[in-house]
Amino acid sequence: MKNFSPHIRKAPVVLIVDDVKKNLNMIGSLLKEKCGFGIGLAQSGKEALKTARMLRPDIILLDVMMPEMDGYEVCRILKKSPETADIPVIFLTAKMTEPEDITKGFAAGGADYITKPFHQEELLARIRTHLNLRFANEAYQSLVTYSQQGMAIIQDIRCIFVNPAMTWITAYSAKELKTMSLKNLIKIVHSEDRGQVWNDIRNRMREKGTALPGRYRIRLLRKDGNICMADMHTVRIKFHGITSLQISITDNTREANLENLLHRGFSFQNIVGVSPPMQEVYRLIGQLAGSRISVFISGETGTGKELTANALHRMGDRGKKPMIKINCAALPDSLFEAELFGYVRGAFTGADKDKSGFMQTAEGGTLFLDEIGEMLPELQVKLLRVIEYKEFRPLGSEHFQKADVRIIAASNADMNKKVAAGHFREDLWFRLKASRIHLPPLRERKEDIPLLTEYFISAFRKEYPEKSIVTDRNVMAVLRKYDWPGNVRELKNTIEFACSVCPDGMLKIRDLPPEFHWLHRERPEVNPQQETAVSSEKERILKALDRTRWHKGKTARLLDMARSTLYRKMDEYGIRK
């Protein structure tokens, strides 16, 4: 545990309670001058209770031996009040030297004790330790409360804590969940999945077996009768000798539904989509795959032209024969003809033997010419002969060779403009576009983005099984806002990047590349169950700010939250003075 840092809270407040004024002044001066702490003073038990409710200190130093009301009684009353129950109390006393006195102090709710006379450094070390523990616990509670993961903590086979997300996922109220025994809580798990979960949890609670987290893909039976697909993690926690079990549940129903869509035919030869334009693409592929005529595939960069060509080849009767792929823009003009049609010995300087070209290599199969709009006009004439007469002539040869090759061409360019400008032969273009498949850009089929995202995440999970990635609800909203100039390829690269840098298995907006961050609204999107809670919390914060005249420290204490949590929520809800 790191020492207390002023960056956590600007000035922690310590309430000192002692009936001897000299002791109050001495300890108060020490904490204020040496540590810069805020100080509250009380000379009696009644004054301590009143000051604690008004000041809401971060820690209380409480003398045991006081007239009228001793420190034990003061501590018991503090712990019974919701306003002060979470404030750690350190007893300051010369009395707690016997085991029964120490036990009495802890039974009253004390967090620690220090005997008089004490060393200054020991007192400061104890205060820093308990401040650190409290602030760490506040940070954890904030994280758990506003997490989209359902969390429950089990002690002595009973549920002692659930966060709001657990109630959203299970449809049970927090009160219902906290009154359940562990055995009844596990009955929420579907009967077919229950056995392995129950045995593992029971062994963990009995401290048998490994302390490593347990991970399960399960079905939950919600109170409303619906079944929720979920990932469940269990881990044993030991703190101050007390063993607890933390259960974390992530609702993966949406991801499971997307996987079902993929298995029900909405993934076609590795091309993914449920939108009407993609259904038309699937129909054309099915109709043209068994044909031997040439096909032209149009579409912007990254829309999946090569995948479509693969599908046409694999689904036809040439599927077991070679498929040769050529990027017409990548081959140098001087080598293109020789590489495409091959050459004979002596065709040019250095041609000391015959060499087959791509056309011979693809015999019986498919030749895929990507970016065909970049092909030289003199080669376009020869390609037209291949399409019309099924023959070609190697470079330097006087004889034609038969070509049993299917031509599939593709381009992201506007071919009509190229024809009009004289850069592409009109007769070749007419032959190619007779059988045309157009791939829509991703911005015109945004309903496919969730399915594509799950498809790429599933592929990432297979490659890195140790990473169990799920997406935050806000991520999908941001992905659908983006225009995707790089289309499906850009989406794939984005998801791979986000999965790689995601630290905790929950893919969030922060994990996306920087260009996506500005698309996120100041207030994150919430699901319908959260809307009322979010609105209510924002109103509560605004009322507290008005009451304290926008003093952040006082507002945080009034709301019983860390100042850093208050700043985060003000930013989240767009609260400005």
| Selection from 377-386, 513-522, 546-555 with the highest mean pLDDT | 377-386
**Predicted confidence (pLDDT) at residue 132 exceeds the cutoff of 80:** no
Among residues 524, 500, 508, 513, the alpha carbon closest in space to that of 472 is found at 508
| Selection from 70-84, 167-181, 532-546 with the highest mean pLDDT | 70-84
For the segment 36-46, the average pLDDT, to the nearest whole number, is: 90
Q: Do residues 396 and 343 lie in contact, with contact meaning Cβ atoms separated by under 8 Å?
A: yes
The percent of residues above 70 in pLDDT, for the chain, comes to: 85
Please indicate whether residue 23 or residue 149 has the higher confidence score (pLDDT): 23
Q: Would you state the pLDDT for residue 348?
A: 85
Residue in the block written with tokens 């056309």? 359
Q: How confident is the model at residue 139 (pLDDT cuts 50, 70, 90)?
A: low
Domain 148-251 sits in CATH at 3.30.450.20
Q: Would you state the pLDDT for residue 1?
A: 30
Q: How far apart are alpha carbons 476 and 519 in whole angstroms?
A: 11
Q: Which two tokens stand for residue 117?
A: 């006379």
Q: How confident is the model at residue 405 (pLDDT cuts 50, 70, 90)?
A: very high
Domain 276-439, CATH class in plain words? alpha beta
Q: What CATH topology corresponds to 443-519?
A: Helicase, Ruva Protein; domain 3 (1.10.8)
Q: What are the distances in angstroms from CA 223 to CA 149, 152, 189, 571?
A: 18, 17, 11, 35
One-character DSSP codes across 245-266: EEEEEEE-HHHHHHHHHIIIII
**Predicted confidence (pLDDT) at residue 152 exceeds the cutoff of 50:** yes
Q: Would you state the pLDDT for residue 8?
A: 36
User: What is the per-residue pLDDT across 466-512, written as a single tens digit (0 to 9) for each?
Assistant: 677 778 778 888 898 899 999 999 999 999 999 888 877 778 888 89
**Predicted confidence (pLDDT) at residue 410 exceeds the cutoff of 50:** yes
Q: How confident is the model at residue 260 (pLDDT cuts 50, 70, 90)?
A: low
528-572 placed in CATH 1.10.8: no
Q: Would you state the pLDDT for residue 407?
A: 95
Q: Would you state the pLDDT for residue 180?
A: 81
Q: Would you state the pLDDT for residue 93?
A: 82
- Name residues whose C-beta falls within 8 Å of residue 173's C-beta, 6 or more positions apart in sequence: 167
Query: What are the boundaries of each domain within the chain?
Result: 13-144, 148-251, 276-439, 443-519, 528-572
**Predicted confidence (pLDDT) at residue 3 exceeds the cutoff of 80:** no
Q: Do residues 233 and 214 lie in contact, with contact meaning Cβ atoms separated by under 8 Å?
A: yes
Q: Do residues 467 and 505 lie in contact, with contact meaning Cβ atoms separated by under 8 Å?
A: yes
**Predicted confidence (pLDDT) at residue 352 exceeds the cutoff of 50:** yes
Q: How far apart are alpha carbons 313 and 306 in whole angstroms?
A: 11
Please indicate whether residue 91 or residue 250 has the higher confidence score (pLDDT): 91
For the segment 554-573, the average pLDDT, to the nearest whole number, is: 75
Q: Would you state the pLDDT for residue 523?
A: 40
Quick one: residue 575, left, alpha or beta (phi over 0 = left, psi -120 to 50 = alpha)?
Answer: beta
Radius of gyration over every alpha carbon of the chain, rounded to an integer in angstroms: 36
DSSP reduced 3-state for 90: strand
Q: Which residues of 92-111 are buried (b: 16+ CB within 10 A; e: fewer)?
A: bbebbeeeeeeebbeebbbb
Q: How far apart are alpha carbons 298 and 301 in whole angstroms?
A: 10
For the segment 40-59, the average pLDDT, to the nearest whole number, is: 91
Among residues 382, 423, 379, the alpha carbon closest in space to that of 403 is found at 382
For the segment 53-68, the average pLDDT, to the nearest whole number, is: 89
For the segment 185-202, the average pLDDT, to the nearest whole number, is: 76
Q: How far apart are alpha carbons 230 and 171 in whole angstroms?
A: 14
Q: How far apart are alpha carbons 201 and 234 in whole angstroms?
A: 7
For the segment 211-233, the average pLDDT, to the nearest whole number, is: 76
Q: What CATH topology corresponds to 13-144?
A: Rossmann fold (3.40.50)
- Name residues whose C-beta falls within 8 Å of residue 121's C-beta, 6 or more positions apart in sequence: none
Q: Which of 106-120, 178-192, 355-369, 403-417 has the lowest mean pLDDT?
A: 178-192
Same CATH topology for 13-144 and 276-439: the answer is: yes
